[in-house]
Structure 1
Amino acid sequence: MRLFAVILWALVLFIFTCNISLHALLNDKILFIINPHPKYRDLFIYLDYNLVHPYWIIVKLGHVIGFAIMDFLLFWWTRKRTYAALLTITLALLTEILQLFFNRDGRIYDVVIDSVGILISYYASKLHKTIKIISKELNLGKR
Protein backbone atom coordinates (compact mmCIF):
# COMPACT_ATOMS: atom_id res chain seq x y z
CA MET A 1 0.00 0.00 0.00
CA ARG A 2 2.76 2.48 0.93
CA LEU A 3 4.81 1.67 -2.15
CA PHE A 4 1.69 2.08 -4.27
CA ALA A 5 1.15 5.58 -2.82
CA VAL A 6 4.77 6.50 -3.64
CA ILE A 7 4.45 5.22 -7.20
CA LEU A 8 1.10 6.95 -7.71
CA TRP A 9 2.45 10.30 -6.48
CA ALA A 10 5.59 9.89 -8.60
CA LEU A 11 3.28 9.40 -11.60
CA VAL A 12 1.40 12.59 -10.72
CA LEU A 13 4.72 14.47 -10.48
CA PHE A 14 5.79 12.97 -13.82
CA ILE A 15 2.62 14.22 -15.53
CA PHE A 16 3.03 17.71 -14.05
CA THR A 17 6.73 17.67 -14.91
CA CYS A 18 6.55 16.48 -18.50
CA ASN A 19 3.23 17.82 -19.77
CA ILE A 20 3.78 20.47 -22.43
CA SER A 21 2.42 23.25 -20.22
CA LEU A 22 0.46 24.06 -17.10
CA HIS A 23 -2.14 25.78 -19.28
CA ALA A 24 -2.67 22.59 -21.30
CA LEU A 25 -2.89 20.49 -18.15
CA LEU A 26 -5.46 22.82 -16.58
CA ASN A 27 -7.50 22.51 -19.78
CA ASP A 28 -7.57 18.70 -19.51
CA LYS A 29 -4.83 18.12 -22.06
CA ILE A 30 -2.04 15.74 -21.23
CA LEU A 31 0.44 16.17 -24.04
CA PHE A 32 4.06 15.09 -24.12
CA ILE A 33 6.39 16.41 -26.84
CA ILE A 34 9.78 14.74 -26.81
CA ASN A 35 12.97 16.67 -27.50
CA PRO A 36 15.69 14.10 -28.27
CA HIS A 37 18.46 16.75 -28.13
CA PRO A 38 17.96 18.90 -25.04
CA LYS A 39 20.28 21.75 -24.10
CA TYR A 40 21.65 20.71 -20.71
CA ARG A 41 23.12 24.15 -20.11
CA ASP A 42 19.54 25.43 -19.79
CA LEU A 43 19.51 23.85 -16.32
CA PHE A 44 21.79 26.66 -15.19
CA ILE A 45 19.70 29.59 -16.44
CA TYR A 46 18.59 31.52 -13.38
CA LEU A 47 17.41 34.94 -14.56
CA ASP A 48 14.27 33.79 -16.36
CA TYR A 49 12.06 33.31 -13.32
CA ASN A 50 9.84 36.27 -14.19
CA LEU A 51 9.72 35.51 -17.92
CA VAL A 52 8.34 31.98 -17.85
CA HIS A 53 4.67 32.78 -17.14
CA PRO A 54 2.47 35.00 -14.97
CA TYR A 55 1.64 32.20 -12.52
CA TRP A 56 5.26 31.59 -11.54
CA ILE A 57 4.69 31.92 -7.77
CA ILE A 58 1.71 29.56 -7.81
CA VAL A 59 3.68 27.01 -9.82
CA LYS A 60 6.63 27.23 -7.42
CA LEU A 61 4.28 26.77 -4.48
CA GLY A 62 3.16 23.62 -6.31
CA HIS A 63 6.80 22.51 -6.38
CA VAL A 64 7.09 22.99 -2.62
CA ILE A 65 3.86 21.12 -1.87
CA GLY A 66 4.45 18.37 -4.44
CA PHE A 67 7.89 17.49 -3.14
CA ALA A 68 6.85 17.82 0.51
CA ILE A 69 4.21 15.18 -0.22
CA MET A 70 6.75 13.03 -2.09
CA ASP A 71 9.18 13.23 0.82
CA PHE A 72 6.43 12.36 3.32
CA LEU A 73 5.37 9.35 1.25
CA LEU A 74 8.95 8.12 0.82
CA PHE A 75 9.52 8.45 4.57
CA TRP A 76 6.23 6.67 5.26
CA TRP A 77 7.37 3.84 2.97
CA THR A 78 11.05 3.54 3.96
CA ARG A 79 10.85 4.64 7.63
CA LYS A 80 14.30 6.20 7.11
CA ARG A 81 14.11 9.98 7.52
CA THR A 82 17.41 11.08 5.96
CA TYR A 83 17.29 8.42 3.24
CA ALA A 84 13.81 9.59 2.19
CA ALA A 85 14.96 13.23 2.02
CA LEU A 86 18.03 12.37 -0.06
CA LEU A 87 15.94 10.21 -2.36
CA THR A 88 13.42 13.02 -2.82
CA ILE A 89 16.15 15.56 -3.60
CA THR A 90 17.54 13.13 -6.19
CA LEU A 91 14.06 12.78 -7.67
CA ALA A 92 13.74 16.59 -7.80
CA LEU A 93 17.01 16.83 -9.75
CA LEU A 94 15.93 14.05 -12.10
CA THR A 95 12.59 15.76 -12.81
CA GLU A 96 14.41 18.94 -13.80
CA ILE A 97 16.70 17.03 -16.17
CA LEU A 98 13.72 15.10 -17.52
CA GLN A 99 11.88 18.32 -18.34
CA LEU A 100 14.57 19.17 -20.86
CA PHE A 101 13.57 16.07 -22.85
CA PHE A 102 9.94 17.22 -22.95
CA ASN A 103 10.42 20.80 -24.19
CA ARG A 104 10.03 22.18 -20.67
CA ASP A 105 12.24 24.53 -18.67
CA GLY A 106 14.28 22.40 -16.30
CA ARG A 107 16.17 24.62 -13.85
CA ILE A 108 18.52 24.00 -10.95
CA TYR A 109 16.77 26.76 -9.00
CA ASP A 110 13.66 24.56 -9.12
CA VAL A 111 15.58 21.84 -7.27
CA VAL A 112 16.28 24.42 -4.57
CA ILE A 113 12.57 25.33 -4.48
CA ASP A 114 11.64 21.62 -4.36
CA SER A 115 14.09 21.25 -1.48
CA VAL A 116 12.13 23.80 0.55
CA GLY A 117 9.18 21.40 0.48
CA ILE A 118 11.47 18.51 1.35
CA LEU A 119 12.89 20.45 4.32
CA ILE A 120 9.39 21.33 5.51
CA SER A 121 8.43 17.66 5.43
CA TYR A 122 11.73 16.62 7.02
CA TYR A 123 11.47 19.02 9.96
CA ALA A 124 7.74 18.44 10.38
CA SER A 125 8.42 14.74 10.88
CA LYS A 126 11.27 15.51 13.29
CA LEU A 127 9.00 17.86 15.23
CA HIS A 128 6.24 15.23 15.29
CA LYS A 129 8.68 12.66 16.68
CA THR A 130 9.90 15.11 19.36
CA ILE A 131 6.34 15.95 20.39
CA LYS A 132 5.53 12.25 20.69
CA ILE A 133 8.58 11.68 22.91
CA ILE A 134 7.79 14.64 25.14
CA SER A 135 4.14 13.62 25.38
CA LYS A 136 5.15 10.10 26.33
CA GLU A 137 7.53 11.37 28.99
CA LEU A 138 4.87 13.71 30.41
CA ASN A 139 2.38 10.86 30.60
CA LEU A 140 4.91 8.63 32.36
CA GLY A 141 5.57 11.40 34.89
CA LYS A 142 1.90 11.50 35.90
CA ARG A 143 1.92 7.89 37.12
Structure 2
Amino acid sequence: MKAKYIPAILWALFILIATNNYNFTALLANDINFNVRLFPNLSDLLITSDIHLDSKLYVFQKTGHALSFGILYLLMNQALKERHVAFALCSMFAFFTEFLQLFFERSGRLVDVLIDIAGIYVAYWLSEYVKIHGGIVPAFFVATEKLANVLKDDKSH
Protein backbone atom coordinates (compact mmCIF):
# COMPACT_ATOMS: atom_id res chain seq x y z
CA MET A 1 0.00 0.00 0.00
CA LYS A 2 1.24 3.45 -0.84
CA ALA A 3 1.83 5.86 2.04
CA LYS A 4 -0.29 8.56 0.36
CA TYR A 5 -3.44 6.57 1.21
CA ILE A 6 -2.69 6.26 4.93
CA PRO A 7 -4.21 9.61 6.08
CA ALA A 8 -7.48 8.93 4.24
CA ILE A 9 -7.65 5.35 5.54
CA LEU A 10 -6.95 6.43 9.12
CA TRP A 11 -9.58 9.17 8.90
CA ALA A 12 -12.12 6.70 7.47
CA LEU A 13 -11.38 4.36 10.39
CA PHE A 14 -11.92 7.24 12.81
CA ILE A 15 -15.30 7.93 11.17
CA LEU A 16 -16.24 4.25 11.44
CA ILE A 17 -15.40 4.17 15.14
CA ALA A 18 -17.19 7.45 15.82
CA THR A 19 -20.33 6.51 13.92
CA ASN A 20 -20.64 2.99 15.29
CA ASN A 21 -19.75 3.60 18.94
CA TYR A 22 -22.72 2.73 21.14
CA ASN A 23 -23.26 6.32 22.25
CA PHE A 24 -22.06 9.63 20.84
CA THR A 25 -21.75 11.41 24.18
CA ALA A 26 -19.84 8.43 25.61
CA LEU A 27 -17.43 8.72 22.69
CA LEU A 28 -16.68 12.29 23.75
CA ALA A 29 -15.60 10.85 27.11
CA ASN A 30 -13.31 8.31 25.36
CA ASP A 31 -15.71 5.46 26.12
CA ILE A 32 -15.52 3.24 23.03
CA ASN A 33 -17.85 0.27 22.95
CA PHE A 34 -19.96 -1.42 20.28
CA ASN A 35 -23.38 -3.05 20.58
CA VAL A 36 -24.16 -5.38 17.68
CA ARG A 37 -27.66 -6.01 16.33
CA LEU A 38 -27.74 -8.79 13.73
CA PHE A 39 -31.18 -8.05 12.28
CA PRO A 40 -31.85 -4.30 12.23
CA ASN A 41 -34.94 -2.67 10.80
CA LEU A 42 -33.69 -1.27 7.48
CA SER A 43 -36.67 1.07 7.22
CA ASP A 44 -35.06 3.07 10.06
CA LEU A 45 -32.94 4.67 7.33
CA LEU A 46 -36.06 6.59 6.27
CA ILE A 47 -36.94 8.06 9.68
CA THR A 48 -37.03 11.86 9.77
CA SER A 49 -38.98 12.39 13.00
CA ASP A 50 -35.76 12.58 15.03
CA ILE A 51 -34.54 15.77 13.35
CA HIS A 52 -34.20 18.33 16.16
CA LEU A 53 -32.72 21.55 14.84
CA ASP A 54 -33.50 23.21 18.19
CA SER A 55 -31.06 20.86 19.98
CA LYS A 56 -27.48 22.11 20.28
CA LEU A 57 -26.19 18.53 20.55
CA TYR A 58 -28.06 17.53 17.37
CA VAL A 59 -26.68 20.50 15.42
CA PHE A 60 -23.19 19.79 16.82
CA GLN A 61 -23.43 16.15 15.69
CA LYS A 62 -24.63 17.05 12.20
CA THR A 63 -21.94 19.70 11.84
CA GLY A 64 -19.48 16.98 12.82
CA HIS A 65 -20.93 14.75 10.09
CA ALA A 66 -20.38 17.40 7.44
CA LEU A 67 -16.90 18.32 8.65
CA SER A 68 -15.78 14.70 9.00
CA PHE A 69 -16.78 13.81 5.48
CA GLY A 70 -15.42 17.09 4.10
CA ILE A 71 -12.05 16.26 5.63
CA LEU A 72 -12.28 12.72 4.25
CA TYR A 73 -12.88 14.15 0.79
CA LEU A 74 -9.85 16.46 1.05
CA LEU A 75 -7.63 13.55 2.17
CA MET A 76 -9.01 11.22 -0.48
CA ASN A 77 -8.65 13.81 -3.20
CA GLN A 78 -5.06 14.45 -2.14
CA ALA A 79 -4.28 10.73 -2.36
CA LEU A 80 -6.12 9.96 -5.60
CA LYS A 81 -5.73 13.24 -7.49
CA GLU A 82 -9.10 12.43 -9.07
CA ARG A 83 -11.70 14.77 -7.59
CA HIS A 84 -14.73 13.03 -9.10
CA VAL A 85 -13.55 9.60 -7.97
CA ALA A 86 -12.83 10.96 -4.48
CA PHE A 87 -16.29 12.56 -4.40
CA ALA A 88 -17.99 9.31 -5.44
CA LEU A 89 -16.00 7.15 -3.00
CA CYS A 90 -16.68 9.49 -0.08
CA SER A 91 -20.38 9.63 -0.93
CA MET A 92 -20.59 5.83 -1.07
CA PHE A 93 -18.72 5.64 2.24
CA ALA A 94 -21.26 8.06 3.74
CA PHE A 95 -24.09 5.72 2.76
CA PHE A 96 -22.12 2.68 3.98
CA THR A 97 -21.52 4.21 7.42
CA GLU A 98 -25.20 5.09 7.88
CA PHE A 99 -26.28 1.62 6.76
CA LEU A 100 -23.70 0.02 9.05
CA GLN A 101 -24.93 2.02 12.04
CA LEU A 102 -28.17 0.05 11.95
CA PHE A 103 -26.15 -3.05 12.86
CA PHE A 104 -24.54 -1.28 15.83
CA GLU A 105 -27.72 -0.08 17.53
CA ARG A 106 -27.21 3.42 16.21
CA SER A 107 -29.59 5.54 14.19
CA GLY A 108 -28.51 5.29 10.57
CA ARG A 109 -30.46 7.82 8.51
CA LEU A 110 -30.54 8.82 4.85
CA VAL A 111 -30.84 12.42 6.07
CA ASP A 112 -27.37 11.99 7.58
CA VAL A 113 -26.08 10.73 4.22
CA LEU A 114 -27.31 14.01 2.70
CA ILE A 115 -25.56 15.99 5.43
CA ASP A 116 -22.36 14.00 4.84
CA ILE A 117 -22.57 14.63 1.09
CA ALA A 118 -23.15 18.33 1.76
CA GLY A 119 -19.86 18.37 3.69
CA ILE A 120 -18.14 16.57 0.81
CA TYR A 121 -19.63 19.06 -1.64
CA VAL A 122 -18.44 22.08 0.37
CA ALA A 123 -14.95 20.58 0.62
CA TYR A 124 -15.00 19.88 -3.12
CA TRP A 125 -15.82 23.48 -3.99
CA LEU A 126 -13.43 24.85 -1.37
CA SER A 127 -10.60 22.81 -2.89
CA GLU A 128 -11.57 24.03 -6.36
CA TYR A 129 -11.58 27.64 -5.12
CA VAL A 130 -8.13 27.19 -3.62
CA LYS A 131 -6.84 25.59 -6.83
CA ILE A 132 -8.26 28.38 -9.01
CA HIS A 133 -6.54 31.02 -6.87
CA GLY A 134 -3.18 29.27 -6.79
CA GLY A 135 -3.11 27.99 -3.21
CA ILE A 136 -4.51 28.46 0.26
CA VAL A 137 -2.85 31.80 1.03
CA PRO A 138 -3.88 33.57 -2.20
CA ALA A 139 -7.41 32.12 -1.92
CA PHE A 140 -7.62 33.35 1.68
CA PHE A 141 -6.63 36.90 0.66
CA VAL A 142 -9.09 36.93 -2.26
CA ALA A 143 -11.90 35.75 0.01
CA THR A 144 -10.93 38.28 2.70
CA GLU A 145 -10.91 41.08 0.15
CA LYS A 146 -14.35 40.05 -1.14
CA LEU A 147 -15.72 39.91 2.40
CA ALA A 148 -14.26 43.35 3.19
CA ASN A 149 -15.92 44.78 0.07
CA VAL A 150 -19.27 43.27 1.04
CA LEU A 151 -19.00 44.70 4.55
CA LYS A 152 -17.92 48.09 3.18
CA ASP A 153 -20.91 48.16 0.82
CA ASP A 154 -23.20 47.15 3.68
CA LYS A 155 -22.02 50.07 5.84
CA SER A 156 -22.73 52.59 3.08
CA HIS A 157 -26.47 51.81 3.16
Q: TM range, normalised to the smaller chain?
A: 0.7 to 0.9
2:83 to 72, 81, 94: 81
2:52 to 24, 27, 50: 50
Please state whether the residue corresponding to 2:104 is helix, strand or coil.
Answer: coil
Aligned to 2:23: 21
**Which residue type is aligned with residue 122 of structure 1?**
Y
Alignment of 1:28-107 (within 5 A): 28-50=30-52, 55-107=57-109
Shift of 1:54: 5.5
Query: Following the alignment from structure 1 to structure 2, what is the Cα–Cα distance between the partners of residues 113 and 101?
Result: 20
Query: Following the alignment from structure 2 to structure 1, what is the Cα–Cα distance between the partners of residues 99 and 116?
Result: 14
Give the aligned CA root-mean-square deviation in angstroms.
1.7
TM-score, structure 2 as length reference:
0.80
Query: Following the alignment from structure 1 to structure 2, what is the Cα–Cα distance between the partners of residues 2 and 71?
Result: 14
Aligned to 2:131: 129
Alpha-carbon contact 1:24-1:30 (below 8 Å) kept: yes
Shift of 1:132: 2.0
Among the aligned pairs, what percent are the same residue? Answer: 36
Gaps of 5+ in 2: 139-157
**Which residue type is aligned with residue 7 of structure 2?**
A
TM-score, structure 1 as length reference:
0.88
**Which residue type is aligned with residue 37 of structure 2?**
N
Aligned to 2:114: 112
Please state whether the residue corresponding to 1:132 is helix, strand or coil.
Answer: coil
Aligned to 1:141: none
Q: Deviations over 1:35-91 (max 9, x none)?
A: 00011000001121129x751000000001100000001100100011101110000
Give the paired residue count. Answer: 133
Gaps of 5+ in 1: 136-143
Query: Following the alignment from structure 1 to structure 2, what is the Cα–Cα distance between the partners of residues 105 and 30?
Result: 17
Q: Deviations over 1:92-132 (max 9, x none)?
A: 00000000000000000001101111011100111122112
Alpha-carbon contact 1:2-1:73 (below 8 Å) kept: no
Query: Following the alignment from structure 1 to structure 2, what is the Cα–Cα distance between the partners of residues 66 and 111?
Result: 12
